[in-house]
Amino acid sequence: MSTNTGFHNEVSRRDFLKGCMTATAMMGLPYSMLGKVVAAAEAPNKPSVIWLHFQECTGCTESLLRSSHPTLASVILDTISLDYQETLMAGSGELAERAMHDSIKANKGNYFLVVEGAIPTKDNGIYCKVAGKTAIDSLRSAADGAAAIISIGTCASYGGIQSVAPNPTGAVGVRDIIKNKPIINVPGCPPNPYTFFSTILYYLTFKKLPELDNLGRPMFAYGRKIHEHCERRPHFDAGRFAKAYGDDGHAQGYCLYQLGCKGPVTYANCPVQRFNDVGAWPVSIGHPCIGCTEPDILFKTSIAEKVQIHDPTPFDGYAPIDIGKKGKGPDALTTAIVGLAAGAALGAGAMMAKNLPASVDDKEKQHK
Ligand code: FSX
Ligand code: SF4
Ligand code: F3S
């Protein structure tokens, strides 16, 4: 099977269904909805997607296609018609440009525009040009006929690393420029490819945007904090912290809060969905979360700086208690299904806590 980008892929029926099942669970939908999601993914008229690259590292595309989940890339490319994508296209130059303009013309009002990277606005946008056109002009003309825009990655969502002070090129996110189109932000540096896939599938299944938070992110993926699902959370609650990289606490899997973990103020599904189909995510391999889905944390706060916790939320693995404020993200059952479907090892956190000695020296509780 191939798309207009020339990317060839093959996907088995089993892998296709597995990808749809994971996406269905991630969206917080019941298992009974799987048939509807699969039907939308298999519809003969595949939605046309134009994918533009601006100021960024191409990590969003790379993480989608070059990592250990070629299956997911194949499922995505089997679900959409990727009509223009500079990293993947076999064609180049005028041929490629023509393909994009033909697709925009033929699918006016019906295509998705995916934007990866920030848009420089200073000095009339001269700091990023493709085919002689500035990023701002390319974005405006491609956005004009789009049904909806997906800003993939933190750069396209909020400006990302380019927008860090003094922001020499005046880099901004898509929503700072385009005001008259539905825009879904899928931040992360890079974001989890399943979040992107689920966003597309939600739109195809229900013909509407998923519920978004005040930063334009789908609630199904960004409705809960990292801290609520983290396997190190029992250590946080017990006051067991790594104090330095490589110390005993770090080696034993203690909480990384004192090393600057931004999990308590970062909204994302990383501990549940994880990355690369191997059950890993930053905190699981010993690095604090750096808040890569948040506009004011990533690259704008030092990795080592401890965050203030103003709105403590309980660990999702504990028995439910009424704290007078319900999270709007997926419930515990959905979380469990996502974990199962993705092969995530959520039980590892509980086992780690169980295997710890009953008394520990460090009883500090930073959140009280
Ligand atoms: Fe890179 Fe994407 Fe970070 Fe940005 O991801 S992974 S710099 S969010 O736009 O390519
Ligand atoms: Fe996990 Fe970070 Fe929260 Fe500690 S502070 S429990 S490492 S998310
Ligand atoms: Fe990003 Fe934190 Fe997840 S750094 S990848 S939001 S764990």
What CATH number did the domain enclosing 94 receive? Answer: 3.40.50.700
167/231 same-domain check? no
> Is 316 part of a structural domain of the chain?
yes
Distance 359 CA to ligand 1 centre (A): 43
Clarify whether residues 288 and 187 are in a common domain: no
- DSSP reduced 3-state for 86: coil
Residue 297's identity, in one-letter code, is I
The per-residue pLDDT for range 196-235, each reduced to its tens digit, is 989 999 998 998 999 999 999 999 999 999 999 999 999 9
- Residue 267, domain member (yes or no): yes
Domain shared by 192 and 59, yes or no: yes
**Would the CA dihedral through 35, 84, 142, 113 be positive or negative?**
positive
Does some domain include residue 3?
Answer: no
Co-location of 255 and 129 in the same domain:
no
Domain termination residue (choose one: 222, 240, 262): 222
Q: What secondary structure does DSSP assign to 39-79, as a single string?
A: HHHH-SSPPEEEEEE-BS-SHHHHHHHSSS-HHHHHHHHHH
For a mutational test of ligand 1's pocket, the pick from 52, 150, 155, i.e. the residue with the most ligand atoms closer than 8 A to its C-beta, is 155
Q: How many structural domains comprise the chain? A: 2
Tell whether ligand 1 has an atom less than 6 A from the beta carbon of residue 189: yes
186 sits in which H/E element: strand 183-186
Query: What's the pLDDT at 46?
Result: 86
What does the pLDDT read at residue 364? 32
Q: What is the best residue among 255, 316, 366 to mutate for testing ligand 2's pocket, by most ligand atoms within 8 Å of CB?
A: 255
On whether both 210 and 235 belong to a single domain, the answer is no
Regions of the chain short of the pLDDT cut 50: 1-8, 325-368
Domain match, 176 and 313 both: no
CA–CA separation, 311 and 317 (whole Å): 18
Within a domain: residue 7?
Answer: no
CB of 292 closer than 8 Å to CB of 285: no
Is residue 88 within 8 A of residue 82, CB to CB? The reply is yes
pLDDT of residue 56: 96
Nearest-atom index, ligand 3, CA of 268: 6
207 and 299 assigned to the same domain: no
Closest approach atom of ligand 3 to CA 281: 7
* Whether 191 contacts 228, CB under 8 Å: no
Closest ligand to C-alpha of residue 153 is 1
Residue 265 Cβ inside 6 Å of ligand 3? The answer reads no
Does residue 91 belong to any structural domain of this protein?
A: yes
Query: Measured in angstroms, how far is the CA atom of residue 315 from the centroid of ligand 2?
Result: 10
* Residue from 233, 270, 284 whose mutation best tests the ligand 3 pocket (most atoms within 8 A of CB): 270
Sequence-ordered list of residues with C-beta below 8 angstroms from that of 333, at least 6 positions apart, any chain = none
Do residue 232 and residue 163 come from a single domain? no
Residue at a domain's end among 222, 257, 287: 222
Residue 331 lies in a domain: yes
Q: What is the pLDDT of residue 5?
A: 47
Nearest-angstrom CA–CA distance, 78 and 185: 23
Residues 187 and 263 in one domain: no
Residue 255 Cα: closest atom of ligand 2: 4
Residue 252 and residue 188 share a domain: no
Ligand 3 pocket check for 272: Cβ under 6 Å: no
Could you tell me if residue 334 is inside a domain?
yes
127 lines ligand 2 (CB under 6 A): no
Ligand 3 and 191: CB distance under 6 A:
no
DSSP-derived letter for residue 328 is -
**In the listed set 158, 189, 222, which residue is the last one of a domain according to the structure?**
222
Are residues 234 and 216 both part of a single domain? Answer: no
pLDDT of residue 10: 64
Q: Is the shortest distance between the CB of 307 and ligand 3 below 6 Å?
A: no
> Contact, 288 vs 256, CB < 8 A?
yes
CATH code of the domain in which 338 resides: 4.10.480.10
Closest approach atom of ligand 1 to CA 292: 8
Whether 152 and 236 map to the same domain: the answer is no
The domain of 174 spans: 13-222
User: In this structure, is residue 1 part of a structural domain?
Assistant: no
